[in-house]
Structure 1
Amino acid sequence: MAAYIKQLLLIAVVAFLYTKAATQPMSLPNCPSKCGSVTIPYPFGTTEECSLDNTFLIDCNNTSQIPFLPENKNISVLNISLDDGVMRVAWPIASDCYTKKGELGELVNQTPQDINMTNFHISPTRNKLIAVGCDTVGVVGVADSRGNNYLAGCMTYCNMHNDTTDNQSCSGVGCCEVSIPRGYMLREVNYVSGAIYNHSSVNDFNPCGYVFLAENGNYNFSRTDLKLQKKEFPVLLNWAVGNQTCDQAKNLTNYACKADKSTCHNSTERSGYFCKCPDGYQGNPYRSEGCHEGIMYYFHFKMSVV
């Protein structure tokens, strides 16, 4: 009976901690914690007073309640992760369409998509360039922080609609993919959709070519994509604080890891660092008193006592 009561008490405590953890503030006091359905955790914020600095500002559209990157109103924010320094955004698709006579029609998003902010860059290891069509050339041009330019691309081709199958690999028939050049802090991407034969022989079922960036694992080819209806795909951006390593930043007055138990981690894909709560803790390491004992830590401790 005593053991049963202890188990009930333990369940009650875990439920209480779960509720408490769910309500822990992630933003600064008196600052909006969300823009629409997207949580905006500090160091990000919708005003200068609510963010670490102006490079972490998020533009929250008051009408649509959709958060955007301030440097590019075409790129909306889907979610922000504090654990690994990643932001997921919705990246627009580029396309070129042709008439039955092979004349160029509408061009969409054939301009550079700039995320020229100090603390962001496109993750070259977690995203790919994808081209879709039966007469499509996809090229991605990337610029690094030093102004150097790099190109990568692929070409797709098919004669008939039946040449393609659903869920096939993007190996060149109806769809191709290529990795983004690595080893650089990529802040601008110019991806272009082009054609060799102006879709003249495939216009009935594929009048347009499509080129886009997409997070790894977020795109599977379907025949219906030869007339693609989607306008954007998720893309992962890396973010970090400053340009210093943890050892360099710890002695600075603007060191961002404010919570007592927070730990500092050097970014692996760019310069700078990010902060984490230690194992068994959860919360926001960028806030004072931001790391709290997690549910599983408390549960494990109580079980060992019982």
Structure 2
Amino acid sequence: MWVSWLMMLLSLWPVAASTARSDAKPGCQEKCGNVSVPYPFGILEKSCAMNDDFFLNCTSNDEGHPELLFGRNMRISNIELEGTVTVGIYAAFSCYNKTGIQTDFYSLWMTLAAPFMLSNTRNIFTAIGCDTSARVTNSEFTYGATCLSICTENVEMSDANPCSGSGCCQTSIPKGLKSLNYSLSTYDSYTKVSDFNLCGFAFLADRRSLKISDWPLSLTPKYGKDAYATDVVIEWVVENKTCDLAKVNTSAYACGTNAYCTYPEIDQGYRCSCNEGFEGNPYLEDGCQDKDECKVEGKKPCQEGTCENTIGNYKCRCPIGKYGDGKIGCKRVGIITIISGSAGDIYETG
């Protein structure tokens, strides 16, 4: 008997597995290692991406594990259909010995392709050190800033305290940046603080994941796969057009069925989102599927009554003896009671 049940379950397994929704283009690999790669991005075959800008390199690292790269060496840890890619970018540093001679130095240049730009809302530029001047510019030299961090005694790097210029300094970046260069300089070559601080660091980092406590003043550089890198959020759009212009060329328009065009605050192009009542990947032709609001975990869709899913919406049917919209609440049905046979003796009670 149990053998028959087992055979039935095994026969159902491929059906159950095939019903899982994929955000990759049909026939294309969805993951590189443990990182999901949703369309318009693609890996392995160029036809799996919307265009060359969204074709990513899934390769093997030195340990033989799959690794998803953005550009030549920026490791991707997450891709969001809302328009972000999180990558790891190395920190710049400058180090000196106790006599004031420079021992280590690394600065960073980075340039992004057309549909990508650095997120000004998620990222913050940060400098660490007690004798540290960190400069950040873009390649066109239309933006520049300097972050100065000075201290005369050891400062404990704490996530609870803001970077106010003593051991740590922070400054924002403007909207729409596609390139950055950051480097460091020093005033006294760390000779006055050499007992507790010999290196300065500078980096861009996601505000949500940055922990200042990970950057004590005693920190010194590491190299290779152990080099210090921070999570940096890159925003992306489909192409640099307004929604109205994009819709004119229907063959190139990126939004699928049950999806609409959005124009993000970065003012650099458009994105796609599923219509209300639908969910999934808006860049796939049939990627936005009806959302069953009656089965949303942890949510009670109806104030009262029974939930009934509809395409793109849902209803809340009031229980027997009540009427109205169960989404906001039901009312009792009035009952007409005849007290006597004369019309004047008819009363309505609730």
Confirm or deny a common fold (TM above 0.5): yes
In the alignment, the residues of structure 1 paired with residue 217 and residue 55 of structure 2 have an alpha-carbon distance, to the nearest angstrom, of: 38
CA RMSD of aligned residues (A): 2.3
The worse-fitting range, judged by mean Cα deviation, of 210-219 and 225-234 is 225-234
Query: Is the counterpart of residue 124 in structure 1 residue 115 in structure 2?
Result: no
In the alignment, the residues of structure 1 paired with residue 95 and residue 169 of structure 2 have an alpha-carbon distance, to the nearest angstrom, of: 18
What is the aligned partner in structure 1 of residue 316 from structure 2? 304
The question of whether the paired residues in 2 share the 8 Å contact of 1:281 and 1:297 is answered with: no
The residue type paired with residue 277 of structure 1 is C
In the alignment, the residues of structure 2 paired with residue 22 and residue 68 of structure 1 have an alpha-carbon distance, to the nearest angstrom, of: 29
In the alignment, the residues of structure 1 paired with residue 141 and residue 293 of structure 2 have an alpha-carbon distance, to the nearest angstrom, of: 47
Deviations 1:64-113 (A, max 9, x none): 3111112x31x11111111x2111111211111111111001113x1312
What is the aligned partner in structure 2 of residue 194 from structure 1? 185
In the alignment, the residues of structure 1 paired with residue 294 and residue 101 of structure 2 have an alpha-carbon distance, to the nearest angstrom, of: 64
In the alignment, the residues of structure 1 paired with residue 290 and residue 78 of structure 2 have an alpha-carbon distance, to the nearest angstrom, of: 24
What is the aligned partner in structure 2 of residue 16 from structure 1? none
Aligned counterpart for 2:212 among listed residues 221, 245, 264:
221
What is the aligned partner in structure 2 of residue 53 from structure 1? 51
What is the aligned partner in structure 1 of residue 241 from structure 2? 244
In the alignment, the residues of structure 1 paired with residue 150 and residue 214 of structure 2 have an alpha-carbon distance, to the nearest angstrom, of: 13
Structure-2 change in CA distance of 1:165 and 1:64 (3 Å): closer
For structure 2, list consecutive stretches of 5 or more residues without a partner in the other structure.
1-15, 221-226, 302-306, 309-314, 320-350
Query: Is the counterpart of residue 273 in structure 1 residue 273 in structure 2?
Result: no
What is the aligned partner in structure 2 of residue 256 from structure 1? 254
In the alignment, the residues of structure 2 paired with residue 267 and residue 43 of structure 1 have an alpha-carbon distance, to the nearest angstrom, of: 17
Deviations 1:164-221 (A, max 9, x none): 45332100000000111x24x3111101122111111222321110000011243343
Structure-2 change in CA distance of 1:195 and 1:48 (3 Å): same
For structure 1, list consecutive stretches of 5 or more residues without a partner in the other structure.
1-18
Q: Which has the higher helix share?
A: 1
- What SS is found at the alignment partner of 2:201? strand
The residue type paired with residue 67 of structure 1 is L
Query: Is the counterpart of residue 37 in structure 1 residue 34 in structure 2?
Result: yes
Structure-2 change in CA distance of 1:243 and 1:102 (3 Å): same
Query: How many Å apart are 1:21 and its aligned residue?
Result: 11
Structure with higher RCO (Cα < 8 A, 6+ apart): 1
The question of whether the paired residues in 2 share the 8 Å contact of 1:280 and 1:297 is answered with: no
The question of whether the paired residues in 2 share the 8 Å contact of 1:33 and 1:40 is answered with: yes
What is the aligned partner in structure 2 of residue 152 from structure 1? 145
- What SS is found at the alignment partner of 2:143? strand
Query: How many Å apart are 1:298 and its aligned residue?
Result: 5.2
Larger Rg: 2
Query: Is the counterpart of residue 77 in structure 1 residue 76 in structure 2?
Result: yes
In the alignment, the residues of structure 1 paired with residue 39 and residue 290 of structure 2 have an alpha-carbon distance, to the nearest angstrom, of: 19
The residue type paired with residue 136 of structure 2 is V
Query: How many Å apart are 1:223 and its aligned residue?
Result: 8.2
- What SS is found at the alignment partner of 1:68? strand
Aligned counterpart for 2:109 among listed residues 112, 125, 141:
112
Query: How many Å apart are 1:22 and its aligned residue?
Result: 8.6
What is the aligned partner in structure 1 of residue 336 from structure 2? none
Query: How many Å apart are 1:140 and its aligned residue?
Result: 0.7
The TM-score with structure 1 as length reference comes to 0.83
Deviations 1:36-79 (A, max 9, x none): 11100000011311000001111111343111112x31x11111
What is the aligned partner in structure 1 of residue 230 from structure 2? 233
Structure-2 change in CA distance of 1:234 and 1:21 (3 Å): farther
Q: Identity rate of aligned residues, in percent?
A: 31
